Structure 1
């Protein structure tokens, strides 16, 4: 997990992907003050019931937490730390809260979806350290982490013209056809996540 001192490097790496993804101010602030990934760490230490409790606190009008706090706590930044060169790779994963809130599913199901679906937003490696399996290791660690938390689905998207489809397949991810959405079968009503024709999805069950 990224540490406070990694913030500047992580911001630069994520921005360098050219995908338009940047580390949002709220996530950068949460990383700086130690709130980012707190629910993830609690879930790993205490079990998935701890995440259910965190969700209940966020949903309760009388609770001290909030849905935004829950989203930040469920998000994580993983880094690859070279013994001589410091952080040389970074991965950002977070629950797709905005997407879930616009699917037309019941509000409580959308909230519960924060504990079921994770989006791999960005993965980046320093140019001088590419081709060494660092990105693959970050992706594999992300999958293992959220699988341990009993998440059901990991997905992400990439430019249809990037040529990354073969790479993601090598990581054991399913690359969807252009225009094909990610089906969400865990809700009580039919739902899916879709993107514009310039992008494609990759996904995997956890």
Structure 2
């Protein structure tokens, strides 16, 4: 995968194309992601319109891990907050037929709320940023009702996993309502589905105590590189 691939896209199922969302896709991506379990319309639209979206990821694809690290540290030093660098480490992917509007969308980003919790607990900012470069959350994926059943959602998830794993991330995780029946779906895509209420423990990977807990009634799914 190259920086150009991310911007111009890859062939997807049934003549569709997958690529990084641009400002012109923001409204459609937001509307589609309202179909996801956690309703992401405003959040998705704001992220897709942000000119810094995936900037760090693109630098990493073109210049390697050192460029990705430099971009992240520079964004952190300028802003003094986690939000700026994490926007550059985030992605909104869309899948669309040739010449048509998006029929599916995916949002993924570092788990900012969890990382802020680590900062509040006294973990150093550089350690927290190392976690942002190791753990990414699949926040939501959705496909329009008329385009389901041809593998668009699975194709989005696979491209997302490929992107972050190529750039050195170790963990891609997400969550779903335990009554939704999605455990088999994510298992078939190569994720481990954790038990009801089971947290994702990351201390062994990150070197400081950090666990991600599902919300009541939800289960986590996780893919390790």
TM-score (norm 2): 0.83
1:179: Cα distance to partner? Answer: 0.9
| Distance change (3 Å), C-alpha of 1:57 and 1:88 | same
Structure 1 residues without counterparts, runs of 5 or longer: none
Tell me which of 98, 109, 114 is aligned to 1:94: 109
Query: Aligned residue for 2:45?
Result: 28
1:46 equivalent in alignment to 2:71:
no
Describe the superposition over 1:15-56 as per-residue Cα deviations: whole angstroms up to 9, x where unpaired.
1224333442xx634532522111111111111111211232
Query: Aligned residue for 2:6?
Result: none
For the residues of structure 2 that align with 1:167 and 1:17, how far apart are their CA atoms?
A: 15
The count of corresponding residues between Structure 1 and Structure 2 is 202
Query: Aligned residue for 2:193?
Result: 175
Describe the superposition over 1:71-97 as per-residue Cα deviations: whole angstroms up to 9, x where unpaired.
111100011111253211100000002
Q: Is the 8 A contact 1:57 1:66 kept in 2?
A: no
Query: Aligned residue for 1:156?
Result: 174
Structure 2 residues without counterparts, runs of 5 or longer: 1-19
Tell me which of 91, 96, 100 is aligned to 1:81: 96
1:131 equivalent in alignment to 2:146:
no
Q: Is the 8 A contact 2:33 2:41 kept in 1?
A: yes
1:72 equivalent in alignment to 2:82:
no
Query: Aligned residue for 2:74?
Result: 57
Tell me which of 186, 192, 198 is aligned to 2:205: 186
Q: Is the 8 A contact 1:36 1:74 kept in 2?
A: yes
Q: Is the 8 A contact 2:26 2:46 kept in 1?
A: no
For the residues of structure 2 that align with 1:65 and 1:192, how far apart are their CA atoms?
A: 24
For the residues of structure 1 that align with 2:165 and 2:45, how far apart are their CA atoms?
A: 25
Tell me which of 161, 171, 183 is aligned to 1:143: 161
For the residues of structure 1 that align with 2:132 and 2:111, how far apart are their CA atoms?
A: 7
Query: Aligned residue for 1:8?
Result: 27
Q: Is the 8 A contact 2:138 2:173 kept in 1?
A: yes
